[in-house]
C-alpha cells in the first residue's frame, strides 16, 4: 500500500483514478479546489484548497505521502476570457505545478507523476506516430505551459531524490467524458447531419480505464522513474469511423455527408475555427510501444468496448434527465 495524494481528484480523470487506487488498496488523499463531484466515501481524505495557483500550504497536505499524482490544470478554454491566455495557463500549469513539485521534494515524496499532454509533441502527425523521442513542438498556450512544467520538474528532480514520471495522453474519453467528446455524442443523438463522411485521418485516443491503469503502473514500477510515456488505446481511428462507432453504440446511426476535407478546412478558417478543424480533420497518432516494452503495460480495454461503455453512460444520463 502507498499513501497517494492526487490533485484535481474530482475531475474526469481524477474520479476514475481514485476509484482504481482505492480498489488496489492504496491510501488516497484527494486535493481539490472545491468540494463538488467527489464524496468522502470515494477517498480516504478530502482536502479542499481553493485555486491551486493561489498560495497553498503544501507541507501538511503532503505529510507522509509516498506519491503525488498531479492532475489539476487549466485545460482548454472554449470561451477564453483572459487578455493574456499564455500567462493564465502558465500561472496554473507551470508555476503552480513547480511550487507543488518543490514542496513535494521538501516533504520527502518519493515519486511525482505528472499528467501532461500529447500537445507537447505537436498538433498533428503525417505518415508516422508521435513518440517520446520526438523533439517537443507545442503550439497552443496550453501545450506550451505543460511543456515548461515538464522541463521545470525534470530540473527540480535532478537536484534531489524525488522521481518523476510524465504521461502525455491524447484525447481522453470514457463514461461522463466532457468537452469535445460530449459534443460529438450530442450531435449524433440529435441526428444532426455532419460533413465528415470523407475524412480519412487517423487519430489515437485513450480510454479513461486505460489511462488510469497506466498511471497506476507508473506509481510503483521501478523502470518508470525519470521517464516520459505516451498513452493510448493502441488502436487508431478516423473521425468518420469514430462517429459511426459511437452512433451505432447509442442506436443513432451517424448521418455523415462526404464533403472534401479541403472545403471543411477553408470554411473553418473563415469562421475562426481552425483549432476545431485540426482536431476533426488532421491525423494525430501516438506510439505506445515504450510503455509496452519498458513497463510491460498493455491497454486492458479495447477501443470499441471503451466507446460502448461511454455511449451507454451517455444514454443513461440522458434518460435520467428527460
Tens digit of each residue's pLDDT (9 = 90 or more) over 243-256: 999 999 999 999 99
Comparing 77-86, 209-218, 266-275, 292-301, the range with the smallest average pLDDT is: 266-275
State yes or no: pLDDT of 16 exceeds 70: yes
Closest CA to 65 of 149, 153, 6, 8: 6
Catalytic residue among 112, 130, 142, 187: 142
CA angle 96, 101, 103 (to 5 degrees): 95
CA-nearest of 184, 179, 121, 173 to 301 is 173
Could you tell me the residue ranges of all domains in the chain? 3-168
- pLDDT value at residue 315: 93
Strands (E), 190-280: 205-207, 227-230
Q: What is the pLDDT of residue 272?
A: 64
Tell me how far apart the alpha carbons of residues 293 and 287 are, in angstroms, rounded to a whole number.
11
Read off the pLDDT band of 132 (50, 70, 90). very high
CATH 3.40.50.720 corresponds to the domain 3-168: yes
Instruction: Please give the DSSP secondary-structure letter assigned to residue 224.
Output: G
Please compute the mean of the pLDDT values over residues 210-232 and round it to a whole number: 98
Supply the pLDDT for residue 268: 57
Task: Specify the pLDDT at position 178.
Answer: 86
pLDDT for position 81 = 65
Q: Which residue has the cell 509516498?
A: 66
Task: Go through the chain and tell me how many residues it has.
Answer: 322
Lowest mean pLDDT among 3-7, 165-169, 192-196, 285-289: 192-196
Render pLDDT for 259-277 as a digit per residue (tens, 0 to 9).
Answer: 877 777 766 566 666 666 6
pLDDT attached to residue 79: 58
* pLDDT score for 102: 98
pLDDT at 114: 98
pLDDT given for residue 274 in this prediction: 61
Assess contact for 96 and 144: CB atoms under 8 A.
no
pLDDT at 18 over 90: yes
Give pLDDT, residue 99: 98
The DSSP call for residue 110 is S
CA 208 remoteness from chain centre: 8
Q: Measure the CA–CA gap between 180 and 243, rounded to whole angstroms.
A: 12
Q: What average pLDDT is seen over the chain? A: 92
Q: How far apart are CA 222 and CA 188, in angstroms?
A: 44
Give Cβ neighbours of residue 195 (< 8 Å, ≥ 6 apart). Answer: 256, 257, 258, 259, 264
Residue 142 appears among annotated catalytic residues: yes
Q: How far apart are CA 53 and CA 66, in angstroms?
A: 23
Of the ranges 84-88, 168-172, 221-225, 261-265, which one carries the lowest mean pLDDT score? 261-265
* Furthest CA-CA distance within the chain: 57
User: Residue 84: which pLDDT band, with cuts at 50, 70 and 90?
Assistant: confident
d(CA 305, CA 175): 12
Amino acid at each position: 500500500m502507498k499513501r497517494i495524494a492526487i490533485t484535481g481528484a474530482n475531475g474526469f480523470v481524477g474520479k476514475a483514478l481514485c476509484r482504481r487506487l482505492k480498489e488496489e488498496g492504496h491510501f488516497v488523499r484527494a486535493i481539490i479546489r472545491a468540494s463538488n463531484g467527489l464524496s468522502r466515501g470515494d477517498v480516504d481524505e478530502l482536502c479542499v484548497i481553493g485555486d491551486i495557483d493561489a498560495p497553498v500550504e503544501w507541507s501538511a497536505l503532503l505529510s507522509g505521502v509516498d506519491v503525488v499524482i498531479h492532475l489539476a490544470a487549466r485545460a482548454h478554454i472554449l470561451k477564453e476570457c483572459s487578455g493574456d491566455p499564455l500567462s493564465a495557463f502558465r500561472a496554473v500549469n507551470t508555476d503552480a505545478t513547480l511550487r507543488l513539485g518543490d514542496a513535494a521534494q521538501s516533504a520527502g515524496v518519493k515519486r511525482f507523476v505528472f499528467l501532461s499532454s500529447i500537445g507537447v509533441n505537436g498538433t498533428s502527425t503525417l505518415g508516422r506516430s508521435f513518440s517520446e523521442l520526438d523533439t517537443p513542438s507545442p503550439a497552443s498556450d496550453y501545450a506550451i505551459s505543460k511543456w515548461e512544467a515538464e522541463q521545470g520538474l525534470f530540473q527540480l528532480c535532478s537536484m534531489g531524490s524525488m522521481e518523476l514520471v510524465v504521461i502525455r495522453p491524447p484525447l481522453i474519453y470514457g463514461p461522463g467524458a466532457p468537452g469535445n467528446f460530449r459534443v460529438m455524442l450530442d450531435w449524433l443523438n440529435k441526428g444532426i447531419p455532419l460533413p465528415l463522411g470523407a475524412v480519412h485521418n487517423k487519430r489515437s485516443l485513450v480510454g479513461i480505464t486505460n489511462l488510469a491503469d497506466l498511471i497506476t503502473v507508473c506509481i510503483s514500477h521501478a523502470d518508470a522513474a525519470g521517464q516520459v510515456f505516451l498513452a493510448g488505446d493502441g488502436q487508431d481511428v478516423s473521425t468518420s469511423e469514430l462517429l459511426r462507432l459511437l452512433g451505432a453504440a447509442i442506436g443513432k446511426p451517424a448521418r455523415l455527408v462526404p464533403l472534401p476535407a479541403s472545403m471543411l478546412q477553408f470554411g473553418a478558417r473563415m469562421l475562426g475555427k481552425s483549432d476545431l478543424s485540426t482536431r476533426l480533420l488532421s491525423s494525430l497518432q501516438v506510439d505506445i510501444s515504450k510503455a509496452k516494452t519498458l513497463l510491460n503495460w498493455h491497454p486492458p480495454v479495447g477501443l470499441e468496448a471503451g466507446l460502448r461503455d461511454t455511449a451507454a453512460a451517455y444514454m443513461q444520463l440522458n434518460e435520467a434527465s428527460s
